Amino acid sequence: MPKYVYSFTEGNKDQKDLLGGKGANLGEMTGLGLPVPPGFTITTEACRYYMHHGENPAELAEQVSAAIAALEERFGRKLGGATEPLLVSVRSGAKFSMPGMMETVLNVGLNDESVHGLAAFANDERFAWDSYRRLIQMFGKTVLGIDGDLFASALDAKKAAVGATSDVDLTAEDLKALVDTFKAIVASETGQAFPQDPRAQVDAAVIAVFNSWNTERAVLYRRREKISDELGTAVNVQCMVFGNLGPDSGTGVAFTRNPATGQRGHYGDYLPNAQGEDVVAGIRNTLSLDDFEKIDKASHDTLLAIMSTLETHYRDLCDIEFTVERGQLWMLQTRVGKRTASAAFKIATQLVDEGLIDMDTALDRVTGEQLSNLMFPQFDAKAPKTRLTKAMAASPGAAVGAAVFDSPTAQAWAAEGKTVILVRRETNPDDLGGMIASAGILTARGGKTSHAAVVARGMGTTCVVGADALDVDPVARQFTVDGKVVKEGDVIAIDGTTGEVFLGQVPVVPSPVVQYLEEGLDKALAAVGDDGDAADLVMSVHRILTHADEVRRLKVRANADNAEDAARARRLGAQGIGLCRTEHQFLGDRRVLIERLILAREAEAKKSALDALLPLQRQDFIELFTAMDGLHSTVRLIDPPLHEFLPDLTTLSVRVATAEVQGGAAPEDLELLAAVERMHEANPMLGTRGVRLGLVVKGLFELQVQAIAEAAAQLIKEGKDPRPEVMVPLVGSYVELDLVREQAERIIAEVAEREGVTLQIPIGCMIELPRAALTADEIARAAEFFSFGTNDLTQTTWGFSRDDVEGKFFTEYIANGIFQVSPFESIDQRGVGQLVQIAVEKGRSTRPEIGLGVCGEHGGDPESIHFFNRAGLAYVSCSPFRVPIARLEAGRAAIEVEGSATA
């Protein structure tokens, strides 16, 4: 019989696929002998069965009954019993952490009878009725689908009626009345009374957790984090311990290190006389762990000892949820904590220095996306600013944008191209869409472990929380602070490193990480001066990136079309140029020369255009090869279709027609129109471009090859070491490439003989058509290297016109799960990737030593880099800014392959 239920005593941290992250870690803590309230986990397999069949597996009910019976026997109490009732929480727990995205229900088992038993057992009537109202509120919203604002409004109305400023000020009688109000809301909204059967509550809560896997916010979060929809969630049913039993009880969230800065030490939030959801929801401002020590030193010290145990055991920053019930500390959850990009690098190197991990593990703990985040500018500390307030720094960065006060507005304005800061009293999971759309998040309430803080850190979004000086009015769409009114649309700036909030624009300065990458370690450290955090960050990035360079197999080149870009790429660590797009060198004043060359019918006119272009191209390459002296520079011969170098047909037709009406068009315009009409193509991206253009427009490719050869020859005679490579675009057959190769070799030989130098200029081609990939063994006879042009290969494999489809239906395709991410952003490994692998295998079968690289935009995408490493390519090429990211990911890909080989 399939096993769908596991006791916490049966699980461990290596079972996340089956038990989810929360269940696996509860099992691990139980095995370590830590104080964990007993419980059991319903597996992800049960969830997947439910998703596929619309009902639970037949065996599940019996297994849940047995697990509940075991808990009842252990404690001598019955679930929802009339005296000393056993109550449970029902929580989600997927393999990958999805904070706040799925559902939790606390105090399950309470009803009109057991609430009295709980009051007698706890000797606290107020606590019992507070727990019951929480159950109805959470169950109503989560399980029954009732608008949560109905309960929140009723709670606010009761507090106003009795003059209470906080939930904890409500008396037992107040809470009894509130329970009646909540039950009336349930009856009114559902047509049924609140369920009194404890087991029915458990079963309904389990189904609600399963269903929460596919809520809009959960799906949106998975899309952003690239988490598979097929994983499903586990469900954890755990005996309740209560933090709302009075001043000697409470609940909190803690991190073993600061997840925002990476600073060593303990970091967290505590709320006395509260339940766990109060901390995460951010509805009350929290106390620090230092304050917790003053309230309950014994529990505080026990917590710190457990945190040390967990960090040493997991060898990583741990995120911990705990409850104190009348002086007894209980651990409710642990997981490897989400952290900011800065903290990720610093914590990784700290753990190396402490002997907990090695440098390979440290490299694996950081990502290219995190390094990219560290390269963005920061606020200029010396610039004049108007500070509104200072609150808690939850996620670092510098964000400037228009203030907006709800998630739909944030999404709508962002879609219009506006940069926005989402301002809320506190965020909740339903705000996720707006949080993703915003450059920064600012909340008036909540602590460093509130929903806003945790989600923002996970996304790398700048965030400031707990700005209690702000009076946020979402109805009036404004906030007030110290008499200043900031309305929706007003520009504000938030500093996620200091917690400061400013009015208006604030100038930014380059990141110290960029200064290190471009100018070197010594200059970067000198620039940061006494800023210890910045110095630690620069050193951590340096150590990890240096290790990545030491272990990676893939070389990293840059896409650069001019000497300036090439020089910057080299400073950032590029090992050559993987793609020089020569068409960019024909923009501006030179465009007319290409137009003349293409349109010319007389040999003399063509020669005149070629003669004018040759010295210009030669100088381009002299500058480029000088910037990359000693490194390979792959020059792609001109690629774009004819229409990009000719007058627009419609504009020209209108001009001629207008002239005809006004007395006659000029002969040269009529001749030009006839030529443009003759060369017009219905689908130019699949027409006369690439190698076809070079074969049709005589002299064009020859001009470029001659300029490359002459530039190299001149530099060789100057004692330099140019290493150009000629790359032919859009090749579909061996014959096409062979024709161009013959011409190129002849020209290179002529230049070498004339200049008295030896020129070794490899000739290869791009693989960007499916036919080229499938016949790569033939093409390799004429190619010394392949460079995969994955942009066009993706277009021609999918049949997509990139310029058309991304703005038209990709959003719907992603929403419908056709793909999780645009295939132009991250390579389609099953389709386009398979063509790459075929071409690699076929190319090497003909020419074992063939050079292999990629120069499409995928060359800078972290996930794609890992694929190219597995596929056996020799290098990736990307934009200069992404070179450090590619270096890091190439290193991570190398240890990934090594780890899988030894596993």
**Active-site annotation, residues:** 451, 855
Of 28, 36, 65, 57, give the one whose Cα is nearest residue 210.
57
> What's the Cα-to-Cα distance from 454 to each of 292, 318, 376, 795, rounded to whole Å?
21, 13, 21, 38
CB-side neighbour CA atoms (13 Å) of 868: 34
Dihedral, CA atoms, 140, 141, 145, 148, nearest 10 degrees?
120
Look at the alpha carbons of 836, 842, 846, 848 in this order and tell me if their dihedral is positive or negative. Answer: positive
Triad 169, 286, 149: Cα angle to 5°: 60
DSSP states of 623-669 as a string? HHHHHTTTSEEEEEPP-S-GGGGS--HHHHHHHHHHHHHTT---HHH
Number of helices and strands (H, E) in the chain? 37, 31
Cα–Cα distance measured from residue 771 to residue 839, given in angstroms and rounded to the nearest whole number: 10
Beta-bridge mates of residue 94: 233
Cα–Cα distance measured from residue 92 to residue 72, given in angstroms and rounded to the nearest whole number: 22
Dihedral, CA atoms, 664, 667, 672, 677, nearest 10 degrees?
60
Cα–Cα distance measured from residue 25 to residue 316, given in angstroms and rounded to the nearest whole number: 14
If you count them, how many residues does the chain have? 903
Please give the DSSP secondary-structure letter assigned to residue 553: -
Helix (H, G, I), strand (E, B) or coil at 223: helix
Other beta carbons within 10 Å of 107: 29
Q: Which two tokens stand for residue 16?
A: 């996340």
Residue 667's contacts (CB-CB under 8 Å, 6 or more residues apart) are none
Strand ranges (E), 359-507: 378-379, 386-390, 392-395, 398-404, 420-424, 440-443, 462-465, 471-473, 478-481, 484-487, 491-495, 500-503
Cα–Cα distance measured from residue 318 to residue 34, given in angstroms and rounded to the nearest whole number: 15
Other beta carbons within 10 Å of 664: 11
Residue 86's contacts (CB-CB under 8 Å, 6 or more residues apart) are 71, 72, 75, 77, 78, 79, 80, 109, 239
Would you give the distance in Å from CA 507 to the centre of its chain? 26
Other beta carbons within 10 Å of 20: 30
Cα–Cα distance measured from residue 464 to residue 446, given in angstroms and rounded to the nearest whole number: 10
Other beta carbons within 10 Å of 93: 27
Say if CB 270 and CB 323 are below 8 A apart.
no
Of 511, 615, 630, give the one whose Cα is nearest residue 566.
630
> What's the Cα-to-Cα distance from 462 to each of 257, 416, 486, rounded to whole Å?
19, 21, 20
Cα–Cα distance measured from residue 867 to residue 69, given in angstroms and rounded to the nearest whole number: 49
Say if CB 709 and CB 748 are below 8 A apart.
yes
Phi, psi of 643 (to 5 degrees): -60, -20
Would you give the distance in Å from CA 268 to the centre of its chain? 25
Say if CB 115 and CB 90 are below 8 A apart.
no
